Structure 1
Amino acid sequence: MEKMFNIIFSGVHLIAALILIALSLIIMGWSAYDVIIHFGKATEIIPLMLQSVGAIIISAAIIDVAQYMMEEEVFKNKELRDPEEARRTITKIIVIITIAVSIEGLVYIFKAGTNDLTLLLYPALLIVVSAILIVALGIYQKLSATIERVEKENP
């Protein structure tokens, strides 16, 4: 019975991962198409390009999540997880999220700078959040590396 449930849930994870990949590719294509269509309009192109870059980075993050789902939930034995591997995966995902948040903040800074300076609070908060994410990731890296080293020394 347990084996049947594992097969069913692996199938569900595979379908979810494939859907995420397909949606991410659609977002990437749409973003590139949007930039190409509006390329002649010089006043709108820079914010649109930045927004498209942000969408593509988010799509890449979604593909990474789908890849992780396929590797961990479909292809690998779920019981054999290495702490170092988990740290690398979490690091990769947090870095991609941080980049996406930073780019989104930059896009909104350009939009707010051209429209109304009082709107700069939200983009400034996004930049601060991305900085906090980087610091938190550094703390996580330090703590998890220390724990891994202690575990290797005391098996």
Structure 2
Amino acid sequence: MQSTFNKLLTVIHFIAAFVLILIALITMGWSVYEIFASLFTDDKDGFIPLILQSVGAIIIAAALVDVAQYMIEEEVFSEKELRNPEEARKTITKIMAIISIAVSIEGLVYIFKAGTENLSLLIYPASLIFVSSLSIVALGIYQKLSISVETKTREVIDSDNHN
């Protein structure tokens, strides 16, 4: 029964990853289409904001692809349970890196957008970049602390193997 349930969850994760990739591709395609369509209109004032909006959409699409890739690698092709602290650290690092990159790039896009519209709007993108930087620092602290756990785990395993 548990094996059937695990297979069902694997199929669900695969379908979810496939849908995320499909949504990402549609988002990227639509963004490129809007840029090319705007080249043939008379509204040249709206071109730069459209470019910035498209860049933001493509960044989000790339983050969706990264999440889908993670789901496929971790939930479809590998074991479901994290067996040791090193695997947990690598998984958390990968997820947090995806989030931090997406947030920081989105903050940069909004900085450029705020610069073309209203400088008082810079508080939100600056906050995004600050939070992204803070998450990277927190991730570094987590990695530093988790290395000691991994070392202790290896020492215990090595001492058990030698006895």
Question: TM-score range, shorter-chain basis?
Answer: 0.7 to 0.9
**Which one-letter code corresponds to 2:81 in the other structure?**
E
SS of residue paired to 1:76: coil
Q: TM-score of the superposition, structure 2-length normalised? A: 0.78
Residue 32 (structure 1) shift: 2.4
State the distance in 2 between where 1:2 and 1:140 align: 33
User: Match for residue 117 of structure 1?
Assistant: 119
**Any stretches of 5+ residues in structure 2 without a counterpart?**
158-163
Does 2:16 match 1:16? yes
Partner of 1:71: 73
- The Cα of 1:76 is off from its aligned counterpart by 2.4
Q: What value does the CA root-mean-square deviation take over the aligned residues? A: 2.4
Contact 1:38 1:45 in 2 (8 A): yes
1:93 aligns with 2:88: no
1:151 is matched with: 153
Structure 1 CA distance for aligned equivalents of residues 11 and 36 of structure 2: 38
Q: Give 3-state SS (helix, strand or coil) of 1:122's partner.
A: helix
TM-score, length-scaled by structure 1? 0.81
Cα separation, 2, equivalents of 1:42 and 1:99: 31
Q: CA deviation at 1:42?
A: 6.0
Q: Structure 1 77/102 Cα, relative in aligned 2: closer, same or farther at 3 Å? A: closer
- Listed as ranges, the gaps of 5+ residues in structure 1 are none
- Give the equivalent residue in structure 2 for 1:142: 144
Radius of gyration: which is bigger? 2
Q: Cα 1:111–1:143, aligned 2, differ >3 Å: closer, same or farther?
A: same
